[in-house]
Amino acid sequence: MKSIKQDVKAWLLLCTGLGTILFLMGSTFFIVVTQSLGLYSMGGEESGFTLEYWQDVLSDSVFQSSYLYSVKVSLLGALFSIVVSYPIALWLRNELPAKVTIVTILRAPMLVPGLVAAFLFVNMISYHGILNEALVFLGIWDEPKTLQNDEFGWGVVILQMWKNIPFALILIGGAVNSLKTDLLDAAANLGSNAWQRFRYVIFPLTLSAVQVSFILIFIGALGDFAFYSIAGPRSTYSLARLMQMSAYEFEEWNQSAVMAMAIMLTSAFVTVLVSMIIKPLAVKRGDIK
C-alpha cells in the first residue's frame, strides 16, 4: 500500500512538469494535423475534412524545390559535422597542453546565436569581405568573386557544420573517450594500422553516438530559419522560410500546416532510416568485444 502511494505521488509530481509539456506539444501537434486536413481554419473559411491542401502543396514546384534543397543541405550538414568531429575527438584523446582551453574554444560556436553567425559569415565572404580582400591581396584572385548566397547552398552547409560540430563533439567525443586504451593497443599489437583501428574498433563502438548526433543535427538543420534566410540562395526558399511566408504573408495557414507536417514526417522518416542503417552495423560490436 505504501509503495502504491509513493508511485501515485511520484506521478503527480511528474505531471506538474511533464503534463504541461505534453499538453503544449500535444495541442500544437493536434492543431497542425487538423489544419493540414482542413478541419481547423484560422482564416475564417469553412472547416471540413479535405486532402486538397496536401494535393496543392505536394504538386507545387516551389515546395518541391524547397523540400529537396532543405533535405539536401540538412543531410550534408549532419554528415560533414560528424565526419569532421571524429578526427578532432581522436586528437583530443591525447594529453595536450592547454587542453581545457582548446575544448572551450571548440565549443564557443554553441554560444553564438544562429542569426548572428549567419550575418558574420555573409560579411566575411561578401564581395568586399575579409576572405575576398585577403585572396586578392595574396594574388590568388585577380578580383573579388561572388561567394555569398550560392545556388547549391554550400554557405548554409558550412554554417551548419560550424554550429553543430561542437555538439557532435560532445556526443562522439564522449563515446571515443570511453574506449579503453588497452583495446586500441591490443588492435595495434595485432598489426592493425590507424585506419583499421578506426574502421573495426572505434567506429563500431561509437555508432550509438553517431546515430544520435546525426538525427538531432538533421532535425535541427531541417527546421532552421536563420541560416537559410541569410546565407541561402535567393532562387530557392527553405522549408521553414516557405512555411513562414505562406502563413504570415499569404495567410495560407492550411498550406503552411502541410509544410510543417512535411518537416515532421521527414524528420521521423530519417530517424527510422538512420536507425535501420546503423542497427546491422552495430551487431559487429559484439564480435569486437
Each residue's pLDDT tens digit, 90-105 = 898 888 888 888 888 8
Do residues 146 and 128 make contact, with C-beta atoms less than 8 angstroms apart? no
User: What would the grid cell of residue 258 be?
Assistant: 502541410
Q: What is the pLDDT of residue 148?
A: 81
Q: What is the pLDDT of residue 283?
A: 45
**Residue 282 — very low, low, confident or very high, per pLDDT cuts 50/70/90?**
low
pLDDT digits (tens, 9 = 90+) for 229-246: 888 888 888 999 999 999
Q: What sign does the CA torsion over 108, 110, 115, 121 have?
A: positive
Distance CA(118)–CA(124), nearest Å, equals: 10
Three-state SS at 195: helix
Distance CA(217)–CA(239), nearest Å, equals: 16
Q: How far is CA 289 from the centre of its chain?
A: 31
Q: What is the pLDDT of residue 198?
A: 87
Q: Is the pLDDT of residue 171 over 90?
A: yes
* Consecutive H or E run containing 77: helix 61-91
Of 252, 231, 65, nearest to 159 by C-alpha is 231
* Consecutive H or E run containing 221: helix 207-222
Do residues 270 and 212 make contact, with C-beta atoms less than 8 angstroms apart? no
Of 243, 265, 264, nearest to 255 by C-alpha is 243
Which residues have C-beta within 8 Å of that of residue 30, sequence separation ≥ 6?
none
Q: For 94, which DSSP code? A: S
Mean pLDDT, the chain, integer: 85
Give residue 132's region: left, alpha or beta (phi > 0; psi -120 to 50). Answer: alpha
Average pLDDT for 13-39? 79
If you count them, how many residues does the chain have? 289
pLDDT digits (tens, 9 = 90+) for 10-23: 777 777 777 777 77
